[in-house]
């Protein structure tokens, strides 16, 4: 997750070594065909909105968000809209609202049902409280993720945004899968994290690593880094080559943390 500011503007440095310390992804083996990956992720499309309140209008924004959620209820919206508040980094104070678990066609159907009415209500309630925002479409890459799509939102999420160099996606994904194949076998490693890939609405190629956290204490480093686990699995020379690929594929790296705001989220009635 990120705000309207371009994500990943931090200079790539030794922070990468620590940013990936929360990796817990298993997934499909390297070499999986594009068609197979597309089929696996056909219903994993997310639309994510980023909104920053005007100075002094945070409370007004939250009140407006709650009012807009009532609109979704009045329209019997069947989609879930989860809201998070970014707590750290340059985007602190920005709110992120997402709906996931859809096919591309689902968005056409939803727009026909309530798109215009939703935009009008959001503009009337939320619009006057924000100073900026954007939205984009992301794909939850189940083939790269250990955690299932559409998990119950955790209290905290550690977010790492990878802005890649053009043309490096295949090598990056292949390297990630080698790391995650190794660490997914670690019995004590957290296994709830997932990868998003930006499909439309910002700088590409961009990947986002999400790691669930139950508390700030869980941000403490684990006993081993992913690189140490990979070295134990495939040897130092091969592990070094994998991490060299990740470093050389990455143009910018950015981290932040977000809290889940259940009071600002909408869950359809059952």
The two three-digit tokens of residue 185, written as one number: 């076998």
Average pLDDT, the chain: 89
pLDDT of residue 256: 98
pLDDT of residue 24: 40
Binned at pLDDT 50, 70 and 90, residue 183 comes out as confident
Closest Cα to residue 256, out of 143, 161, 145?
A: 161
Q: How many residues does the chain have?
A: 270
pLDDT in tens, 81-140: 999 999 999 999 999 999 999 999 999 999 999 999 999 999 999 999 999 889 999 999
pLDDT in tens, 23-55: 443 333 445 789 999 999 999 999 999 999 999
Give the SS3 label for residue 3.
coil
Closest Cα to residue 267, out of 80, 78, 77?
A: 80
Model confidence at 264: pLDDT above 70? yes
Closest Cα to residue 85, out of 266, 256, 220?
A: 256
46 neighbors 98 (Cβ within 8 angstroms): yes
Closest Cα to residue 158, out of 198, 203, 216?
A: 216
pLDDT of residue 19: 44
Among 2-6, 80-84, 103-107, 240-244, whose mean pLDDT is lowest?
Answer: 2-6
**SS3 for 34-82, per residue?**
HHHHHHHCCCCEEEEEEEEECCCCHHHHHHHHHHHHHHHHHCCCCCCEE
Binned at pLDDT 50, 70 and 90, residue 181 comes out as confident
- pTM assigned to the model: 0.88
Going by the DSSP 8-state scheme, the letter that residue 237 receives in this structure is: H
């Amino acid at each position: 997750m990120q705000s309207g500011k371009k994500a990943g503007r931090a200079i790539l440095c030794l922070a990468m070594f620590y940013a990936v310390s929360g990796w817990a992804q298993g997934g499909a083996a390297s070499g999986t065909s594009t068609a197979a990956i597309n089929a696996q992720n056909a219903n994993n499309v997310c639309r994510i909105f980023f909104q920053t309140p005007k100075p002094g209008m945070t409370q007004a924004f939250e009140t407006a968000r709650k009012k807009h959620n009532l609109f979704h209820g009045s329209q019997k919206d069947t989609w879930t809209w989860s809201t998070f508040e970014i707590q750290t980094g340059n985007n602190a104070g920005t709110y992120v609202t997402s709906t996931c678990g859809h096919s591309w066609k689902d968005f056409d159907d939803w727009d026909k049902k309530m798109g215009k009415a939703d935009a009008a209500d959001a503009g009337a309630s939320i619009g006057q409280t924000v100073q900026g925002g954007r939205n984009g479409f992301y794909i939850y890459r189940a083939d790269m993720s250990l955690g299932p799509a559409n998990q119950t939102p955790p209290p905290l999420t550690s977010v790492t945004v990878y802005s890649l160099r053009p043309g490096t996606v295949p090598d990056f994904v292949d390297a990630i899968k080698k790391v995650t194949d190794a660490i997914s076998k670690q019995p004590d490693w957290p296994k709830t994290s997932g990868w998003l890939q930006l499909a439309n609405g910002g700088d590409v190629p961009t990947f986002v690593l999400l790691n669930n956290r139950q508390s700030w204490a869980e941000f403490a480093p684990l006993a081993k880094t992913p690189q140490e686990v990979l070295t134990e699995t495939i040897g130092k020379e091969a592990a070094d080559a994998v991490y060299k690929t990740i470093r050389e594929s990455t143009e910018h790296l950015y981290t932040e943390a977000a809290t889940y705001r259940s009071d600002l989220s909408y869950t359809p009635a059952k």
